[in-house]
Structure 1
Amino acid sequence: MSRVLLLGGTGDALRIARSLRAEHVYSLAGLGRTPVDLACGVRVGGFGGAQGLVRYLADEAIALLVDATHPYAARISANARAASSDARVPYWALRRPAWEPQADDDWRFVDAWPHVVAALAPFRRPLFTLGREPLAHLDAIPAHQHWTVRCLDAHPGNERARIIDARGPFTLDGERALFDAGGYDVVVSKNSGGAATEAKLQVARERRLPVVMLRRPALPAADREFGDVAGVIDALRAQPFPIVR
């Protein structure tokens, strides 16, 4: 029996997983909520690097590896590319297009956390939408700043940090209300692309707020690359063995 292994953890990956037949596997790192309503199998946890993934591909008779992880999950994608090459299993990837600044945007591109901190020095109330990384730095918040950090899971804050656990999609009205309540003077974001979390950028544009934007990491080339979920599902449907329900 030929099987597909889907590497996920994003909303796009979940949409693909919902289309898969029972014999295929959706793999999650385990950092977010685990879906319980899928027809396909669900695997939670790591593989033990590229070589562990090679063994899994062989043991589970995986005939196709589909990478629909987050655009910033560079290590996972690199391991997937290496494992697929070693195991001689085709490697497909969903590469969601990045957001592009518009004429009135004030985007300040940075490459790593130290550059984020330096770019934020003039500001007092940043809104972080980077995921969990700021949580490791709550004890180093400058005295003149108060942070709001939005991420997937609840986490304790402190007297200079508020943590919001929330999962997109986020609406434009909801983001406007958040900005009204928080009084933010800068937004910090990954360039994740997609519509689910883009509303914050529109609100920043409306209010002429700067955006400190973390550049995307370099990702490995895939045997086939797709820009949207529909393209992946159509290609799975066209395969010679049954994949999509």
Structure 2
Amino acid sequence: MFDLSPSLYTGRLWLIGGTQESAALAQLLVAHSLPCTVSVTTATARSLYPPSPFLQVWVGQLSPEALPLFLQQQHITAILDASHPYAVAISQLAIAFAQQYQLPYLRYERPLITTGEAIESFESLTSLLASDRLGGERVLLTIGYRSLQLFQPWQDQARLFARILPSTQALTAAVAAGFTRDRLIALRPPISADLEQALWQQWQISLVVTKASGTPGGEAIKRQLATQLGIPLVVIARPPLTYPHLTSELPEVIAFCQRYCR
């Protein structure tokens, strides 16, 4: 058992990253000279963060077995969770270890968007796939490559297209799910409104499926275009997760970090 008593540490923050807002938070922490270790899952995400003596970037998957050593080696005294709203596994892991080792935890989450017309909501991809909403439609999926396999049974009932990240892993998963290469486009967000509109029109999309990922995830642009073009937008709700402490206010984040990481 690792001893994670706060008295052992000089006080570094664990920033759970990989998102645009986590990169912005890292900039703020560096500006305030707050020591921080940001964790990301891919080497590509490393480039999001500024070089600084106050900031370390840790690349890899953190498991329940590996996390205690990570917390000890990085001298973590507090956790700032800025992971993607749908990356519930890492949030659940961080919350569990924060409670076990009595580490202060704060969840920073992008606000929900509620504006726009032509919007339909489903509580999960499972509930969408259990309905007949996709039948006969030309559907653009902007939900991440990991979920595309769920749509494989619908390949014969709808014309499915997908936007994925430009990576070999994403392309391999999409092809395995039955997507031909003429129905895939690989782009890294953010996507401009003009490019988004051109893609919808080029593929003659009649229905778009996305996640409630907020403005950083391009949701606001999709809602705007859905209203403008009269194309229905299906929004998959964020997974339900109870966070011990949650905010979308940057001053609260800075106050939290200054309290525990100086």
Does TM, scored on the shorter chain, surpass 0.5?
yes
User: Alignment partner of 1:38: what SS?
Assistant: coil
Task: Give the aligned partner of residue 60 of structure 2.
Answer: 45
Deviations 1:88-137 (CA, angstroms, capped at 9, x unpaired): 110011122212144x3331324233633634433421111111134325
Give the deviation of 1:192 after TM superposition: 0.9
Matching residue's letter, 1:204: A
Corresponding residue of 2:210 = 189
Which residue number in structure 2 is paired with residue 70 of structure 1? Answer: 84
Question: CA separation of 1:77/1:119 partners in 2, compared to 1, >3 Å: closer, same or farther?
Answer: farther
Q: Deviations over 1:156-186 (max 9, x none)?
A: 5444862222222222222221212111000
Secondary structure of the structure 2 residue equivalent to 1:19: helix
In 2, the alpha carbon distance for the partners of 1:56 and 1:88 equals: 16
One of 53, 56, 63 as aligned partner of 2:70 = 56
Moved more, 25-34 or 87-96: 25-34
Letter in 2 for 1:231: P
Helix, strand or coil at the partner of 1:98? coil
1:79: how far off? 0.8
Q: Which moved more, 1:21-30 or 1:182-191?
A: 21-30
Show the 5 A alignment for 1:152-171.
152-154=165-167, 155=171, 157=175, 158-159=179-180, 162-171=183-192
Alpha-carbon contact 1:127-1:148 (below 8 Å) kept: yes
Q: Using the alignment, how far apart are the partners of 1:19 and 1:176 within structure 2?
A: 33
Unaligned runs of 5+ in 2: 1-9
Counterpart in the other structure of 1:96? 110
Q: State how 1:112-123 maps to structure 2 within 5 Å.
A: 112-113=125-126, 115-116=128-129, 118-123=131-136
The answer to which structure has the higher helix fraction is 2
User: Structure 2: how far apart are the matches of 1:117 and 1:153?
Assistant: 29
Q: Deviations over 1:123-152 (max 9, x none)?
A: 421111111134325653432422221122
Q: Does 2:101 align with 1:87?
A: yes
Distance (whole Å) between structure 2 residues aligned to residue 55 and residue 114 of structure 1: 39
Tell me how many residue pairs correspond in the alignment: 238
- 1:32-86: per-residue Cα shift (whole Å, max 9, x none)? 533274321111112212x542342234321111100011111211111110111
1:217 lines up with 2:239 in the alignment: yes
Which whole-Å CA distance do the structure 1 matches of 2:132 and 2:258 have between them? 47
Taking a change above 3 Å as real, the CA distance of residues 226 and 38 of structure 1, as seen in their structure-2 partners, is farther
Between stretches 64-73 and 51-60, larger displacement belongs to 51-60
> Which residues of structure 1 form unaligned runs of 5+?
none
Provide closer, same or farther for how the CA distance between residues 93 and 219 of structure 1 changes in structure 2, counting only shifts above 3 A.
Answer: same
Q: Secondary structure at the match of 2:215?
A: coil
Sequence identity percentage:
25
> What does the per-residue CA deviation read over 1:191-237, in whole Å, with 9 as the maximum and x for residues that have no partner?
111255021221111122222221111223234x2214x33553256
CA distance in 1, matches of 2:242, 2:44: 25
1:174 aligns with 2:188: no
Matching residue of 2:122: 109
Corresponding residue of 2:163: 150
Q: What is the SS of the residue equivalent to 2:28?
A: coil
Q: What CA distance in whole angstroms lies between the structure 2 residues aligned with 1:237 and 1:87?
A: 18
* TM-score of the two chains, using structure 2 as the length reference: 0.79
Which residue of 2 is the match for residue 11 of structure 1?
A: 20
Q: Which amino acid aligns with 1:126?
A: V
